[in-house]
Amino acid sequence: MNTFTDFDLKLLRVFKAVTDCGGLSVAESALNINLSTISTYISDLELRLGFKLCNRGRSGFQLTPEGRLLYQNLDNLLMSIEEFRIEVGKIKNRISGELSIGVVDNTLSDDRLKLPEAIQAVKERASDLFIKLEIKSTHEIETALLGRSLNIGIGPFRKQHPQLIYETLYEETLNLYCSSKHALFESEGPLLDIPVERMGGLDYVSRGYLREAKMHDYMEYFKVAATVHNMEAVAALILSGRFVGYLPAHYAQQWVGTGHMHVIKPAFFSQQVQFCSVRRKDTEVSSAAQAFLAAIRSTLS
């Protein structure tokens, strides 16, 4: 590699994300790129570098000694690029450059997180700022932050990664719901009065990225009959009349208000999950990221 281009940087970011995820197939969702394209990118990078980076196949993903050395030095490169952007912004004495934000799905109906208003406030201060907004799972947000393809993440993170800083913003209420077509609703009368012990064996839809907080003891009696990866899919299965599942109260209200969905024993099953902002520990917060976080906080007050 005699010259270094933007495309080379893109390939290096892909390689880092694949390594962070532990394999090409695992990195598909984090990168939002299909497996064949990821494989092509890695092969292109190996060709441009002149050495093999990793072994990938039925035996699994494993870095070569050369790939391990490159990976160890890559973090320094990406950090230097981000620091350079920050310093250039300071020289210009204004907010500019790029701000990459990752947020979990279906937050627009949440009155607590006024994301459009926060973005509006930042753009009023920085008209030249380029914003990249991505909808991801909590795991994908953390992976992207570690790979330096995101600056800020927002979501309900169950565990905290040691290389990231989490700041609690507010709490979100999750309720257990069923459809008005569900046998539980049709045969048992008021859902508030149903003994929990009589709910055993109900088909339950689980989210693959586990947005739910620690499950209540009685949840062990439910049968996990479907696994999905976003809230719209949870809602669709609940509305089918065959499943119960958790949804944020603000998101489910559009169906509760029309009588198509009902809360199941909220005093027993309702949960509170913390929404946090998250960023890297080892990277100085850019002026754009600072402005965005300040705007988010101001909308909560």
User: Does residue 215 lie within any of the structural domains?
Assistant: yes
The domain tally of the chain equals: 2
Report whether pLDDT(218) > 70: no
CATH code, domain carrying 196: 3.40.190.290
Compute the chain's Rg from CA coordinates: 22
Residue 264 DSSP class:
-
26 CB-near residues (< 8 Å, 6+ apart): none
Distance of CA 231 to the CA centre of its chain: 12
Highest mean pLDDT among 192-196, 210-214, 259-263: 259-263
For residue 228, give the amino acid letter.
Answer: V
CATH code, domain carrying 46: 1.10.10.10
Give CA–CA dist 192/230, Å, rounded: 27
User: Does residue 123 lie within any of the structural domains?
Assistant: no
pLDDT in tens, 148-162: 889 999 999 988 899
Taking alpha carbons only, the member of 206, 253, 207 closest to residue 225 is 206
Mean pLDDT of 152-180: 92
User: Does residue 175 lie within any of the structural domains?
Assistant: yes
Q: Provide the pLDDT for residue 211.
A: 47
Query: Would you say 190 and 229 are in contact if contact means Cβ atoms under 8 Å apart?
Result: no
Instruction: From 32, 49, 77, give the residue that closes a domain.
Output: 77
Q: Among 59-68, 80-89, 243-252, where is mean pLDDT lowest?
A: 80-89
User: Does residue 89 lie within any of the structural domains?
Assistant: no
Average pLDDT, the chain: 85
Give CA–CA dist 212/8, Å, rounded: 39
Give CA–CA dist 243/259, Å, rounded: 16
User: Does residue 93 lie within any of the structural domains?
Assistant: no
Instruction: From 77, 105, 135, give the residue that closes a domain.
Output: 77
User: Does residue 29 lie within any of the structural domains?
Assistant: yes
Query: Would you say 247 and 205 are in contact if contact means Cβ atoms under 8 Å apart?
Result: no
Report whether pLDDT(2) > 80: no
Report whether pLDDT(179) > 90: yes
Q: Which residue has the tokens 């973005």?
A: 119
User: Does residue 107 lie within any of the structural domains?
Assistant: no
Q: Provide the pLDDT for residue 60.
A: 80
244 CB-near residues (< 8 Å, 6+ apart): 176, 177, 178, 182, 184, 202, 203, 204, 205, 222, 238, 264
The pLDDT > 90 percentage for the chain reads 31
Report whether pLDDT(219) > 50: yes
Mean pLDDT of 246-270: 92
Mean pLDDT of 119-139: 89
Q: Provide the pLDDT for residue 277.
A: 95
Give CA–CA dist 244/219, Å, rounded: 11
Q: Provide the pLDDT for residue 31.
A: 82
Report whether pLDDT(186) > 70: no
Mean pLDDT of 177-184: 88
User: Does residue 125 lie within any of the structural domains?
Assistant: no
Q: By residue range, what is the domain housing residue 179?
A: 170-273
Give CA–CA dist 35/171, Å, rounded: 36
Instruction: From 77, 105, 140, give the residue that closes a domain.
Output: 77
pLDDT in tens, 37-78: 998 999 999 898 888 998 887 778 889 989 889 988 887 888
Give CA–CA dist 128/291, Å, rounded: 14
Give CA–CA dist 233/226, Å, rounded: 10
Give CA–CA dist 241/72, Å, rounded: 51
Q: Provide the pLDDT for residue 249.
A: 95
Q: Hey, how many other C-beta atoms are within 10 angstroms of the C-beta on 44?
A: 15
Q: Among 9-13, 25-29, 206-210, where is mean pLDDT lowest?
A: 206-210
Taking alpha carbons only, the member of 52, 198, 172, 68 closest to residue 112 is 172
Q: Among 26-30, 115-119, 138-142, 170-174, where is mean pLDDT lowest?
A: 26-30
